[in-house]
Every structure is written in structure tokens, then in C-alpha cells.
Amino acid sequence: MQTTAGDEHREPLPDASTAPPTVGRLAALAAGALSAGAALGVSELASGIAGGGEPSLVSSIGTEFIDRFAGGLKDLAVQLFGTNDKPALIVGIIINSLMLGALFGLVARRWFWLGAIGFAGFGAVGLWAYTRDPLGSTTTGLLAAVIAVAVGVASLWALLRVAPRRAAVTDRDADHSDAHTGTRRRTFLAAALVAIAGAAGSSVLGRKLRAGNISEAARADVALPRAGTSAGVPDRQPFSPEGLSPYVTPNAEFYRIDTALIVPQVDIDAWSLEISGMVDSPFSISYDELLEMESVEETVTLQCVSNEVGGRLVDNAVWQGVPLQALLDRAGVQAGATQVVGRSLDDFTAGFPTDVALDGRVALVAYAMNGEPLPVEHGFPARLVVAGLYGYVSATKWLRQIELTSWEDFDGYWITRGWAKEGPIKTMSRIDVPASSARLAAGPTPVAGVAWAPTRGIERVEVQIDDGEWQECRLGEVASDNTWVQWLYEWDARPGEHTIRARATDRGGETQTDAVEPPIPSGATGWHSRRVRVTG
């Protein structure tokens, strides 16, 4: 009795022949996904119209994702986000949104209001992410979210209305002539195309509007002052085999790593750099005032801690800027202010010991890179560059504040995500040539690459072929010990398979360790090696 109670008291099933024909499952999924696409499209357009450099709902969700999960991805032993991770993240968010939309569509064919609530909830998540995004204003977020939800729900309603219906079971051969079904299908397809075109058009337009790039315009107007010192870049190098990294990396080829899905856009007349925290006289300095200060030009190799042995997340550039010491002296660093924290317009933070900043090494608030105003992706209008420290603890781009605090009182962005608090760059060498895929002919073969140990300098680079003796390489010219050095070994290659290894020794006498460590938590170690095949 008890077990069948449910059946006993069940309401009679509605007569199938009187139930309205429902929208087919596939059509409902499509309607939902298309509506989600339309919603995302108009949200791109809305934020593009509203703010010159403001993020979109999608990019804010991406930023929230990065802030939340970047640390959790440390199993991969990489630090997000490189240039390639960003499109992948955006595509991932879009695909997930479309799938969620499809689900709402499925629900909405029975309970439209529930599907609509789904869209509203999704808009709310976007708005929430937007308000947390340091680059977004609440007004723009609200506007984008409201329009997105309205368009999404309206599109869902319209698409479901015209969608092909599946007749209720007993109803099958009643009224649904093939001609009628065919018309519905065509109407639905037409409506779907309208939704797709609208979604694509509005998001492309929105992105175009946003790319109306105010930093780029400001950059074009900058007249750089003459630096007080020269970068000392050697006029020429003693060797330059094909494939060897140039001594100075051109800006367009310089590696890029940051968490910014949308590069912060700067109204240069409103921008200022604030020196604050544990200082006697905090102050702010405008862009023009910064450029009026005595400046220096220094060649410094920058490396990302995420760089694998043999990786490309390291480059060398000439930086022009104001010595950090000059700004700190003007502010008056207080006793106990043991940490210097750079903070960016998008709220990235990186901190290093005050002692390190003041130990005489090159530490700059840089505003130019290789003779050009800092490129937008590399931190326009100003960034920190501290020789000998990995970027994640030092090289804050889109700088807005330098705060003096104590070492214990604050942890920068990547420190709270499992990376070491101190980040001195380890002595490292990389083989550039021969390339890993190169087909080599026996005979004289250049083996070449770069080696670096910023602030310490490179004393020696050696190459080993298979299990042979370590052979000393020729070294190129350098501007200073803060940069990498090019090296070359002239190898007489014999036919067969060979392993080439390289190792560097810094001027402190320390040889690069062969102990293999991953990038996390404090930088990869080990010797770079390359297997090559030489034909006779």
C-alpha cells in the first residue's frame, strides 16, 4: 500500500491530444544557445559604447577566473597568463555560456520563466564579476548586464515562438502537414541567422569601439627626454649565427606575461604615480613631472619565473626611466619599511625588499623601452624594472602606486598563490642554435645561445657534446652585468645522434646547477640540452 501510494493519489495525466505541441528538444537547445550568444554580443557592444577602455562582462568573468584559479593551476608549474592563455580563456567562457544558454533553452520550452531566471542569474554573475574588476565602472557593468539579460530573454522568447514543434504523441497525424513544418523550420532558421548575425556583429563592433585605444593615442604624442646616461649597448657583436637571439630584443618580440585580459587604458593627463605608505612625505607625480626628472638608460634582462629551462620567457631591452632611489629619497623611507610594493591600475601587486631596491643595483620607474615610450602591453605609461629579480616580484606594469610597507605585512599577487616571496633570478643558459628540428650536416656547426645572471654577470659558458669534456664558449659583448650574453661554440659535428648541453657560471663563481627544479615556487633550474641528428 505504502509503496504505491504515489501512484494511487497521482493527478490524472493530461490528455495528450489536448496538450500544446512542444518545441523540439534540439530546437530549444539551439534557441537557448543562440540567445546566450546574442546576450554576450550586445554586452560587448554596450561596454564598448560606454567606456573607452573598460572591460566587458566576458572579460571581467575571465579576470575573476584568473584571480581565483591562477594559483590553483600551479600543478602545471606555470604561472598564468601568457599571451596564448587569454584567447583560450575567453573562448572557454563563451563556450560555457552558450552551453548554459542551451540548458536554459531546454528548460524554457516548458517553463519559460525559469529559463528567463537563468538568463537573469547569468547576467547577475557577469555584473558581480564586473563590479570586482578594478578596470570596470559599476554603471557600465549594470548597463551591459541589463541589456544582455533583456536581449537574451527577448531572443529566447522569439526563437521559441517560431521554433519547429514536436506534436504531442497522439496528435501526430492530426494537423501537422509537412508543408506547415517546413515553413516553421525555415522561419526558425531565418530567426537563428538573425540572432547569429546580431551576436557576431555587435561583439565585433563592441570590440572595435573599445579598441579606440586612448593609451596608444597618448603614446604617440610623447616626446621622450634625453637620458642622463647611455645604455652602453655594444655597437656590434663578434658573432651572429642564424637563429641566435639578438642581444637587444625588439619591442614587438619581447615576451609578454600578465594577468590583464584587457590592457589598462590610461588618460595620461589624469594619470599620476603615488609614492605612499611608510614614508615621511608621501607624494604624487604626474607623467610630465616624471619625464622632467633626471633619467637614466639601462640595459636589463627581464625574466619570468615561469620560464622553463630553455624557455622563451626572457628578453633583454634598454629601459629609460627614473631611478627608484630618487623617488624613495624624496618621499623619505621610514625605519621598518622593509618592502617596496608596486601596484598597477588593474590592482596587480609585486613586492621586493627595500634593501634590494637600495643596494645600488639598477631599479627604475621606467617609461621607455628601446627608445620608445613604453608599449601599451609592456606597461604604458610606467613600470618598475629591477635588475636581478623575476618579473612577478618586481616588474609591475601600468604602475599607479609605490607603497612602502613591512615585509611581513603584505604579500603580492603571486605570493598569495604559492610562489616564493623572494625572487632572485637564477643563473641560466639557453641553446638557441641548432634548433631542435634542425637537420645538420657533418662538419663545422655553430652551437649558440644566451646566458644570464642579472646583477652578477656571466663569467663563462660551456658546452658539452654527449659525454665529452665541457668546452668553453666565446662570449659576446654586454652593456653590463644586468643583461644576458650571447655565446658561441664552434662544433665539428660528426654523423650520428648527439646531445648538446650548456651551462653558465656567474661572476660570483657559481656554476648553474644541474639539479632539475620546476618553475614553481622560485624558478626552474637544470641544464638546457638538445638532441640533434647529424647526417654524414
Ligand X SMILES: Nc1nc2c(c(=O)[nH]1)N[C@H]1C(S)=C(S)[C@@H](COP(=O)(O)O)O[C@H]1N2
Q: Of 110-118, 202-210, 386-394, 459-467, which part binds Mo ion (CB under 5 A)?
A: 386-394
Tell me if 384 sits within 8 A of 364, measured CB to CB. yes
Of 377 and 490, which CB lies nearer to ligand X in the complex structure?
377
Tell me if 487 sits within 8 A of 448, measured CB to CB. yes
Q: Of 108-116, 237-245, 388-396, 461-469, which part binds ligand X (CB under 6 A)?
A: 388-396
**Residue 165 interacts with which of Mo ion, ligand X, none, CB < 5 to 8 Å by class:** none
- Identify residue 412 by its one-letter amino acid code: G
**Residue 397 interacts with which of ligand X, Mo ion, none, CB < 5 to 8 Å by class:** ligand X
Give the Cα separation of 150 and 130 in Å (integer): 18
DSSP, collapsed to helix, strand or coil, labels residue 301 as: strand
- The answer to the question of residue 385 lying near Mo ion (CB under 5 A) is no
Bridge partner residues of 401 (DSSP): 274, 343
Of 100 and 305, which CB lies nearer to Mo ion in the complex structure?
305
Applying the rule CB under 5 A, the residues between 279 and 308 that interact with Mo ion are: 304
Neighbouring CB atoms inside 10 A of 333's CB total 20
Neighbouring CB atoms inside 10 A of 182's CB total 11
Give the Cα separation of 384 and 74 in Å (integer): 25
Of 165 and 343, which CB lies nearer to ligand X in the complex structure?
343
- The answer to the question of residue 257 lying near ligand X (CB under 6 A) is yes
Bridge partner residues of 135 (DSSP): none
Q: Of 195-203, 253-261, 446-454, 488-496, which part binds ligand X (CB under 6 A)?
A: 253-261
Give the residue, chosen from 188, 287, 392, 527, that forms a contact with Mo ion under the rule CB under 5 A.
Answer: 392
- The answer to the question of residue 319 lying near ligand X (CB under 6 A) is no
Applying the rule CB under 5 A, the residues between 216 and 275 that interact with Mo ion are: 257
Least Å from the CB of residue 396 to ligand X: 5
What is the grid cell recorded at 490? 664552434
Least Å from the CB of residue 414 to ligand X: 7
Of 32 and 391, which CB lies nearer to Mo ion in the complex structure?
391
Any idea which residue has 645600488 for its cell?
Answer: 360
Bridge partner residues of 153 (DSSP): none
State how far Cα 146 lies from the chain centre: 28
**Residue 247 interacts with which of Mo ion, ligand X, none, CB < 5 to 8 Å by class:** none
Of 81 and 287, which CB lies nearer to ligand X in the complex structure?
81
**Residue 254 interacts with which of ligand X, Mo ion, none, CB < 5 to 8 Å by class:** ligand X
- The answer to the question of residue 55 lying near Mo ion (CB under 5 A) is no
Give the residue, chosen from 148, 268, 304, 365, that forms a contact with ligand X under the rule CB under 6 A.
Answer: 304
Question: Residues 399-427, buried b or exposed e (16+ Cβ, 10 A)?
Answer: bbbbbbbebeeebbbbbebebbbebbbbb
Give the Cα separation of 302 and 63 in Å (integer): 25
Give the residue, chosen from 122, 254, 271, 380, that forms a contact with ligand X under the rule CB under 6 A.
Answer: 254
Give the residue, chosen from 119, 247, 287, 348, that forms a contact with ligand X under the rule CB under 6 A.
Answer: 348
Per residue, what are the HEC states of 357-403? HCCCCCEEEEEEECCEECCHHHCCCCEEEECCECHHHCCCCCEEEEE
- The answer to the question of residue 395 lying near Mo ion (CB under 5 A) is no
**Binding track, positions 362-381, relative to ligand X; x by CB under 6 A:** ----------------x---
Least Å from the CB of residue 351 to ligand X: 12
Give the residue, chosen from 47, 249, 259, 339, that forms a contact with ligand X under the rule CB under 6 A.
Answer: 259
Give the residue, chosen from 166, 210, 256, 456, that forms a contact with ligand X under the rule CB under 6 A.
Answer: 256
- Identify residue 295 by its one-letter amino acid code: S
State how far Cα 508 lies from the chain centre: 35
Of 71 and 391, which CB lies nearer to Mo ion in the complex structure?
391
For 2: left if phi > 0, alpha if psi spans -120 to 50, otherwise beta; the answer is alpha
Q: Determine which helix (DSSP H) or strand (DSSP E) holds 155, and give its type and residue range.
A: helix 138-162
Of 62 and 423, which CB lies nearer to Mo ion in the complex structure?
423
**Binding track, positions 319-358, relative to Mo ion; x by CB under 5 A:** ----------------------------------------
- Integer CA distances (angstroms), 264 to 33, 133, 216, 305, 351, in order: 31, 11, 11, 23, 20
Least Å from the CB of residue 525 to Mo ion: 16
Give the Cα separation of 27 and 106 in Å (integer): 9
Q: What is 55-74 written as a DSSP string?
A: --HHHHHHHHHHHHHTGGGG
Of 311 and 353, which CB lies nearer to ligand X in the complex structure?
311
Give the residue, chosen from 395, 402, 447, 465, that forms a contact with ligand X under the rule CB under 6 A.
Answer: 395
Give the residue, chosen from 60, 202, 344, 405, that forms a contact with ligand X under the rule CB under 6 A.
Answer: 344
Q: Which residues bind ligand X (CB under 6 A)?
A: 254-260, 302, 304, 344, 346, 348, 378, 391-392, 395-398
Q: Which residues of the shown chain bind Mo ion in the complex (CB under 5 A)?
A: 257, 304, 391-392
